[in-house]
Structure 1
Amino acid sequence: MTQFSTEQAARHLLLQARGRVTPARLGVLSILLDADVALSHQEIEHTALQQGCAFDRVTLYRALDWLVEQRVAHKIAGADRTWRYNAQAGTPHQHAHFHCKHCEQVFCLENLQPALLFSLPPGYQVEQVELNLQGCCPSCAGKV
């Protein structure tokens, strides 16, 4: 996405979440929307600095927490015990994550086939499903 369309998309998602469009929320969500992989707090902070947006750590954490609470983003616990964040542009978090053991990146995998099917005993209600796969991503596969 271009910066202009990414910022517009981020602004639209923030308004849909009925939240204030603060510079931190807008900047962080724009970074997440532009990312091809889930990003750590440090990677988001670094990208923000490169783009000329300087947020202190507390503001960044608060923005990320709010985005997750509003389901505009989701967070993923990496195998290295680092939280990574990804934009969730209005879609429910019902997909798998792939952690590359070589480059340490985490990718969201949508529409895996066959789809995960299961039935729960009566009375149970699913709110979230997490499926974490580990291995080698396509970029690293050629290097191994």
Structure 2
Amino acid sequence: MQTAEQLITDAGLRPTKARLAVLSSLLNSHNALSHTEILAALQGIKEIDRVTVYRVLDWLQEHALIHKISTDDRAWKFQLNAPKRSYKATDASTNSGLLSNHGHAHLQCQRCGTVLCIHELAAHIPQAIFDTYQISHIEINLKGLCPQCQQASA
């Protein structure tokens, strides 16, 4: 697995201490993380405050290194983009790369709030949709109970 520094430099971008710290926290997590969870993971690094984390998350998203996921509790969660994964319209690939970094599904636990990316379940959208609509965002969310919450309620 690549390091945060490799991901940033491979994208032709400049790594900073804050960018490396935020990206590393996402890289080391199996789940999507909220701003609050990232900030808690970085507690003790005095150069990093809540505003810095927001700015870095925006920067990472702008450069397609991460994506954000909306949740039921109205908080965004953030997850690394899958490397070299491409999701296109099923009939053609003329949708200007819209799905090139985020056309997969998410599993969200309705009890604990855990969010996982499911890359094996991808969006298959007919080209006619892209020919008719100007698509700005696609979300596929599956909601239910994670294995841990199922076991706790048994």
What's the TM-score bracket when you normalise by the shorter of the two chains?
0.7 to 0.9
Q: Distance in 2 between matches of 1:68 and 1:24?
A: 14
Deviations 1:43-62 (CA, angstroms, capped at 9, x unpaired):
0000111xx42311111111
Residue 126 of structure 1 deviates from its aligned partner by 5.5
For the pair 1:42 / 2:36, whether they are aligned, the reply is yes
Name the aligned partner's letter for residue 70 of structure 2: A
Sequence identity (%): 43
Q: Distance in 2 between matches of 1:57 and 1:143?
A: 33
Q: Which runs of 5+ in 2 are unaligned?
A: 86-100
Q: Distance in 2 between matches of 1:13 and 1:124?
A: 33
Task: Point out 4+ residue stretches in structure 1 off by more than 4 angstroms.
Answer: 123-128
TM-score norm. by structure 2 comes to 0.78
Work out which of the residue numbers 125, 136, 139 in structure 2 matches 1:130. 139
For the pair 1:117 / 2:111, whether they are aligned, the reply is no
Q: For the structure 1 residues 110 and 89, does the alpha-carbon distance in structure 2 shift closer, same or farther, using more than 3 Å as the test?
A: closer
Q: Which runs of 5+ in 1 are unaligned?
A: none
Name the aligned partner's letter for residue 117 of structure 1: H
Q: Which residue of 1 aligns with 2:110?
A: 101
Q: Which residue of 2 aligns with 1:83?
A: 76
Residue 93 of structure 1 deviates from its aligned partner by 1.2
Q: Distance in 1 between matches of 2:10 and 2:135?
A: 24
Give the number of aligned pairs: 134
Q: Distance in 2 between matches of 1:10 and 1:73?
A: 12
Instruction: Tell me how large the CA RMSD over aligned residues is.
Output: 2.0
Q: Which residue of 2 aligns with 1:53?
A: 45
Q: Which residue of 2 aligns with 1:25?
A: 19
Q: For the structure 1 residues 116 and 85, does the alpha-carbon distance in structure 2 shift closer, same or farther, using more than 3 Å as the test?
A: closer
Q: Distance in 2 between matches of 1:117 and 1:68?
A: 23
Residue 18 of structure 1 deviates from its aligned partner by 2.0
TM-score norm. by structure 1 comes to 0.83
Q: For the structure 1 residues 37 and 24, does the alpha-carbon distance in structure 2 shift closer, same or farther, using more than 3 Å as the test?
A: same
